[in-house]
């Protein structure tokens, strides 16, 4: 038995040489481990009922093998290769390609990975020999199609827990609402509402799975969160104990939610974008009742090829017009959705580059800076004129979160992003009036500790720039953050050992993720994220001294990841003004 297994592995290794050579033709550069960690993501569609057809040209499979393979594909592969296997950030795996490759080739591809970013599922121990064989046969079958999700399905999930006329007419608690933090408890399907003043948990609120983002209504009363399973929860912060007042599921997988912010439309509407089905949904802002669903299926920018599942990534509300800025991932389009007349919806389509993902406003809140991550570009969307203001080449796989704005002494206002695929931090000029020669160009690169960065942050009242790297394979990097002094960027960064400061004794991953300022801008909060069965924590740092200020530990803080300060989220506080740029703390900070 041992000899036969060795022979099979040897044969696979020989085939793998051909796999590597074939992919090397298309990929001159390899990928880093942080990219692999990020791209090999799963999908909540693993348990969704689907019809599975059998391709007569494909190797036979039993029903049990189909079920195992489909579940495995959506848990481990769909985030990269797409729900329909048409390709997303990874290559297409449709039968017209996989049947030609053959089972042995595919087994080698799955087992050993590739320079293009395919994980080595067998040799890493994530799959055994049997599962590799099942997956190699499965991707030669016709891909199953998840069910669509329309108005009828949405209304079946829509619940108004507390009707608007039964909600408080004024704030019924003594919390400083503007300094509350909404922290995602990823693996329990909850968010923790934490009092930023006392550092005490106010409530643990049931939500969808793995909340991706928290967004505030324009008034600051309602908190909206959306899980990866496309469930939206609306939380009323005026209640004696803030809690859910409405909920809905707008699809089977999603990432984005926001509300109307333009003058005269405050709190009137909400919008959510789905990965599956590829669409966005506009809802009433006080009840989440669905009003209109718009598909995003269409042609890819540049190639003009049809894509059947262009996922809706980030959505923000314009400050210049009654519009939502909807970024569509695979087609590389930004849709400026005019919500002033829902019955006669108007959209302006702006093409930039495929794989639009996350981003944030520049300091003027006119330009939305969105990462086209696998295109290694940042697109600047002009919300005032409704056009593409610039397309900037940056490092490998930009992942800014909302990005960070500050005043640079030479380049004026700049917006910064970190990267998953390399150790650079790109600074992009954002002022086409006073600093036209630098506008929407990469004006400088900072060197961070390594790839795997997810979030970067600054604040108008701070002279610091923070960057995490939770997906870096080196625990020393993933368990710490780096801080730059904005006035002395050339001196490099200071390392803060956040996980060590957390004082967690067990052997959890302790990845440090998402710097977030309090309202005053004098504290920065970090999640120390370990597995579901390990202890996690939140660490609070004094921004002026860069010293530990507080550690929040509680058995209910299970897998904390993203956190969002109410005031900063409500007002899109990401900016540095020229006045703030001239303010300097009394002490000097030494960088290492």
User: Catalytic residue numbers?
Assistant: 77, 80-81, 118, 357, 399
Asked if 339 and 265 count as a contact pair (C-beta separation under 8 A), the reply is: yes
Asked if 485 and 591 count as a contact pair (C-beta separation under 8 A), the reply is: yes
> What is the three-state SS of 518-547?
CCCCCEEEEEEECCCCCCCEEEEEECCCCE
CA distance 549 to 540: 5
**How many degrees, rounded to 5, is the angle at CA 32 between CA 472 and CA 401?**
55
Assess whether the previous peptide bond of 82 is cis (omega < 30° from 0). no
State the DSSP string of 17-61. Answer: HHHHHHHHHH-SS---HHHHHHHS---GGGGS--B----TTSPP-
Asked if 566 and 180 count as a contact pair (C-beta separation under 8 A), the reply is: yes
**Which residues make beta-bridge pairs with 293?**
281
Rg (C-alpha) for the chain, rounded Å, is 24
CA distance 307 to 241: 45
Asked if 397 and 417 count as a contact pair (C-beta separation under 8 A), the reply is: no
Scanning the structure block, which residue is given the tokens 């390594």?
450
The H or E element containing residue 270 is strand 269-276
Tokens of residue 6, six digits: 């060795």
Residues in the chain: 592
Closest by CA position to 553, among listed 200, 204, 214:
200
Closest by CA position to 309, among listed 280, 335, 275, 281:
275
What is the per-residue burial (b if ≥16 Cβ within 10 Å, else e) of 117-140? bbbbbbeeeebeeebbbbbbbbbb
Residues 6+ apart with CB under 8 A from 145: 50, 51, 84
CA distance 520 to 538: 18
Scanning the structure block, which residue is given the tokens 């067990």?
506
Closest by CA position to 182, among listed 171, 195, 170:
195
Asked if 281 and 269 count as a contact pair (C-beta separation under 8 A), the reply is: no
Please report, for residues 14, 28, 102, 113, 385, the alpha-carbon distance to residue 123 in angstroms, rounded to integers and kept in the order given: 15, 24, 20, 9, 52
Tokens of residue 77, six digits: 């592969």
Asked if 267 and 218 count as a contact pair (C-beta separation under 8 A), the reply is: yes
């Amino acid at each position: 038995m041992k000899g036969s297994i060795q022979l099979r592995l040897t044969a696979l290794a020989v085939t793998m040489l051909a796999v590597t050579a074939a992919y090397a033709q298309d990929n001159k550069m390899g990928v880093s481990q942080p990219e692999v960690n990020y791209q090999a993501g799963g999908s909540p569609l693993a348990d969704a009922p689907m019809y599975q057809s059998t391709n007569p040209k494909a190797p036979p499979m039993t029903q049990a093998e189909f079920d195992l393979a489909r579940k495995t594909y959506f848990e481990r592969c769909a985030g990269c290769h797409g729900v329909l296997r048409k390709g997303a950030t990874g290559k297409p795996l449709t039968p017209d390609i996989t049947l030609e490759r053959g089972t042995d080739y595919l087994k080698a591809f799955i087992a050993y990975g590739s320079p293009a970013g395919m994980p080595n599922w067998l040799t890493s121990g994530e799959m055994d020999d049997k599962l590799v064989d099942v997956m190699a046969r499965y991707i030669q079958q016709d891909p199953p199609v998840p069910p669509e999700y329309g108005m009828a399905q949405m209304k079946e999930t829509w619940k108004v827990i507390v009707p608007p006329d039964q909600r408080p007419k004024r704030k019924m608690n003594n919390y400083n609402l503007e300094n509350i933090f909404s922290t995602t408890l990823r693996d329990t399907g909850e968010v923790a509402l934490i009092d930023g003043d006392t550092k005490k948990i106010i409530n643990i609120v049931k939500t969808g799975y793995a909340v991706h983002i928290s967004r505030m209504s324009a008034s600051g009363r309602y908190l909206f969160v959306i899980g990866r399973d496309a469930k939206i929860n609306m939380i009323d912060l005026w209640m004696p104990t803030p809690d859910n007042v409405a909920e809905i599921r707008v699809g089977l997988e999603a990432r984005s939610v926001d509300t109307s912010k333009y003058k005269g439309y405050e709190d009137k509407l909400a919008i959510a974008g789905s990965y599956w089905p590829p669409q966005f949904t506009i809802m009433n802002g006080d009840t989440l009742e669905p009003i209109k669903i718009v598909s995003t299926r269409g042609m890819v920018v540049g190639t003009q090829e049809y894509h059947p599942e262009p996922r809706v990534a980030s959505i923000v509300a314009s400050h210049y017009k009654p519009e939502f800025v909807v970024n569509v991932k695979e087609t590389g389009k930004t849709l400026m959705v005019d919500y002033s007349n829902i019955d006669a919806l108007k959209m302006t389509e702006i093409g930039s580059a495929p794989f639009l993902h996350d981003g944030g406003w520049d300091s003027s809140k006119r330009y939305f800076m969105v990462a086209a991550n696998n295109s290694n570009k940042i697109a600047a969307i002009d919300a005032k004129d409704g056009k593409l203001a610039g397309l900037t080449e940056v490092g490998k796989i930009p992942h800014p979160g909302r990005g960070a704005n500050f005043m640079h002494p030479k380049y004026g206002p700049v917006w910064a992003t970190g990267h998953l695929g390399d150790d650079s931090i790109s600074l992009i000029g954002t002022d086409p009036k006073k600093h036209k020669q630098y506008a929407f160009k990469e004006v400088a690169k900072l060197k961070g500790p390594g790839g795997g960065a997810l979030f970067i942050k600054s604040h108008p009242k701070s002279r610091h720039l923070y960057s995490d790297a939770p997906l870096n394979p080196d625990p020393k990097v993933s368990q710490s953050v780096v801080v730059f002094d904005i006035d002395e960027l050339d001196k490099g960064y200071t390392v803060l050992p956040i996980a060590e400061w957390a004082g967690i004794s067990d052997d959890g991953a302790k990845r440090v993720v998402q710097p977030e300022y309090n309202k005053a801008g004098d504290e920065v909060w970090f999640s120390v994220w370990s597995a579901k069965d390990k202890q996690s924590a939140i660490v609070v740092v004094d921004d002026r001294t860069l010293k530990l200020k507080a550690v929040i530990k509680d058995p209910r803080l299970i897998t904390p990841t993203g956190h969002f300060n109410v005031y900063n989220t409500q007002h899109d506080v990401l900016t540095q003004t020229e006045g703030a740029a001239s303010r300097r703390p009394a002490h000097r900070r030494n960088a290492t």
